[in-house]
A and B are shown apart, each in its own frame.
Chain A
Amino acid sequence: MGFLQIASAHKAYHTPEGAQVRALDDVTIDVRNNEFLTLLGPSGCGKTTLLKCIAGFEDLDGGDLLLEGRSLKGVPAHRRPFNTVFQNYALFPHMTIAQNIGYGLDVAGVRKPERDRRVGEALEMVGLSGFDSRRPAQLSGGQQQRVALARSLVLKPRVLLLDEPLSALDRKMRETMQIELKNLQHSVGITFIFVTHDQEEALAMSDRIAVLSNGRLQQIGRSTEVYDTPANEFVANFVGTSNLFTGRVTERNDRLLTIETANGRRLAARSDGFAVGDGVTLVLRPEHLRIAEPGEGGAGCTIEGTVKDAVFVGSIVHVHVDVGFGRTAILHHRHERAGASAAVAPGASVRIAYSPESVHLIAAAGG
């Protein structure tokens, strides 16, 4: 039996124009105890709706939520052992920091000495001791974030729900908080369900990632699984950058497949589980592509092209290569000082090389 089961959750909205939008369409997730689970997807994918349904702010239309086997149907938000960190933090502006953090304990009837002790501990945990009597408006974004965290964690919830809590912070602060959140989750040992549209954030923090799109669960798995073996083209494109080539398996030699695209391009990949005639999509990550040395490269593991753009981003150069038929491939080229980048100057003819082991294959939709 799972810890928190989201069992074929359904939820639809009616737009003001009368159209029906499926916010959640048969989503099933088994949330494990003590894990850091991220709901990842673009805006409107249903991730925030799912979070609100878990918190109890909204009802599911169909399906169920089970906490350790017991249904949460009809349990109002204030009786669920879950707490939420809101996107805008939702700190009560008319209360001090200590009153904010003590609110849930006070409402639950915890006596003042005990309450004060636990508020003090919570403040210490987020590194804000001594801020008790300030007002939320006197705190920076990052500090408000910590107060929101402390306010939720002081209640020792079974699950902490985080609704894009880092999106309002600047980049530096966000990176610091990512690490802090992850460490915090380890030390308190509470299940975190974290919603974000930022795939880097998801990869950096999560034990597991559930990718959602158009209200449907696309894939759920460990960060590396989702990144290395995306279940479909959506995941391949949304999590990290991918170069996708779709074709049909024309030859099979031991585990080495030859795939021919509609444009007649022949590409090699090493994989089990596909037979001649299967439609497949190759997923090539930019970091697995490199510029081939002159004369190097086996048949099928190279793509000819012309450099369109080279975008210097620091340690690496993002090279955009025109590979014909209106397609552009992106590869990450290690930056070297002193003119080595002449090879990737716009206009240069290049051959892109990859190893067949680095290719991930997806069964093409309908193929």
Chain B
Amino acid sequence: MLKIDSVSKTFHAGTVNEVRALQDVSLSIEDGCFTGIIGTNGSGKSTLLNAVAGTFTPDAGSIHLAGHDITRWPEYKRAALIGRVFQDPFAGTAPDMSIAENIAIAMKRGQHRSFGFAVTRAFKDDVADRVRTLKMGLEDRLDNPIGTLSGGQRQALTLLMAVWTRPKLLLLDEHTAALDPKSAAKVAELTKIIIAREKLTALMVTHSMQQAVDLPDRIIMMHRGAIVEDYQDERKQRVRVPDLMATFDRVQKRELFDESVAGMLKAQYC
């Protein structure tokens, strides 16, 4: 279970560039729940993901994952519990190393690593079996440098590597945003299949409303560093893209509802 309790983060505090990126954010995600985070630019969705990943330490609040208080843990230590896929398909892999070698490194994430022989025949057979589930024909190219693959193929492999050790939490940071539409659809489909198959707890930031509707079990909407909507259970089942757009619209309308509007309505709302 992931439990984020009253987390706040302000960047450049006390300067003209002060940004209150997270404002008293609380969120609990049950084991096995796939949660999507949507929001406008600067709403704090990636900041929240980074707070969980340990990219920075929050100013206030706490983060618990799988029974551990990880609030003060450094990023590398959290990597033992957290798998992560970035927006850039070329991030998180070594381009000159083979597919099998990249996977060998990934499966040791969070563990002690040595110079021992990593890619054995048995290991490669296991890798081939798992890579075959991607249905991209990559199981026959395990010795090829990963840098020779397309963005979509590489992102699919990165996803597979991120879940190889069955992390307590999978973080997906707009992981299809840099892909062409066909590859993005394929990786999105794989994401849903893999998370369901492995029964993973996952947190996905996305700009795609359709993806938010189609993939996760729950949708969090953020605005100005705060959670403004939480679609889960039957509300999530019912929600469609126009509903999400309407919710964005409502959030923005609420911002436009200032004291002058209140004064005008006081005279006219009868």
Decide whether A and B assemble into one complex: no
- B residues contacting A by CB (< 8 A) are none
- A residues contacting B by CB (< 8 A) are none
